[in-house]
Amino acid sequence: MLSSSCPKFPISTRFLRRSMATNSAKKFIRIDISSDTVCPWCFVGKRNLDKAIALANEQYDFEIRWHPYLLNPSAPKEGVNKKDYYRSKFGPRSEQMTSRMTEVFKGLGLEYNMSGLTGSSLDSHRLLYFAGQQGLDKQNNLAEEIFLGYFTQGRYIGDREFLVEAARKVGVEGAADFLEDPNNGLKEVNEELQQYSSNISGVPHFVLNGKYQLSGGQPPECFIRAFQAASNITV
């Protein structure tokens, strides 16, 4: 599999429009995303991917699948104060990291919120799996709602009420009953952790058409170049 950081020279939207005008047959791009719902760069990566897709959707048909990654597999289910957790984990760097993420989120038109609790993200991954069984669009939309709640509204990632509310907003049915049994989706999440996340060291991680990899919260033009590489388009 090919692995790449962002190509050095970004593609211009003028080239993209010209390319779309001369390629009438859409090409298929499957994007497998390994992500943790408590990873701020995963939200940044999603928002930038969304922008790239909006620019390129006349050229490609996209299929997006979300896969779990656990930044802290031993995170407590009961939740701990988010600010205290980051101070204990990163020390003095936590303030710099928060300032950096605040600026990055501001650039996306979002307000980075460090209030509330953090903890185990396992239930959110079980729910994302469940949403995917009802449709990949619902799964993608649910990822957006969970990110928004956790990173901009101070919602707790392990709060069943929050997760069920997010599921309801995107049309996922039966979320409350599914989450009630802690074994529902657990086998599938563990299988996906092994299949998609065991050989990577960080998230977000994107695999396009099973052959082209891109890591981190890359800007939209990097995703566009990745689309082209994955579909054998020469820039």
SS3 201: coil
- H-run or E-run covering 129: helix 122-134
Q: Which of 199, 207, 229, 222 is nearest to 53 (CA)?
A: 222
Question: Phi and psi dihedrals of 173, rounded to 5?
Answer: -100, 145
- Residue 5, pLDDT score: 58
- Structural domains of the chain ordered from first start: 36-231 (3.40.30.10)
**pLDDT for the residue 235:** 37
Token code pair at residue 160: 């069943």
Beta bridge partner(s), residue 64? 31
Give the pair of three-digit tokens for residue 80. Answer: 């701990």
Pairing type for strands 80-81 and 2-4 reads: unpaired
Query: What is the per-residue pLDDT across 40-49, written as a single tens digit (0 to 9) for each?
Result: 999 999 999 9
**Amino acid (one-letter) located at 97:** M
Q: Can you tell me the distance from the alpha carbon of 56 to that of 23, in angstroms, rounded to the nearest whole number?
A: 12
Q: SS3 breakdown of the chain: % helix, strand, coil, rounded to 5?
A: 50, 15, 35
Q: What is the pLDDT of residues 75-101, one digit of tens each?
A: 999 999 999 999 999 999 999 999 999
Give SS3 for 166.
helix
How much is the pLDDT for 6?
A: 66
In terms of phi and psi (left: phi > 0; alpha: psi -120 to 50; beta: otherwise), the region of 138 is: alpha
Crossing angle for the helix pair 40-56 and 93-107, nearest 10 degrees? 20
Tell me the three state secondary structure of residue 11.
coil
Q: What is the pLDDT of residue 3?
A: 41
CB 111 within 8 A of CB 152: yes
Nearest-10 Cα torsion for 215, 217, 220, 226: 0
pLDDT value of residue 232: 74
pLDDT along the chain (235 residues), means of 10: 46 48 77 98 98 96 98 94 94 95 97 97 98 98 98 98 98 98 98 94 95 94 94 57
Q: How high is the pLDDT of residue 10?
A: 41
Instruction: Find the helix or strand (DSSP H, E) in which 47 lies.
Output: helix 40-56
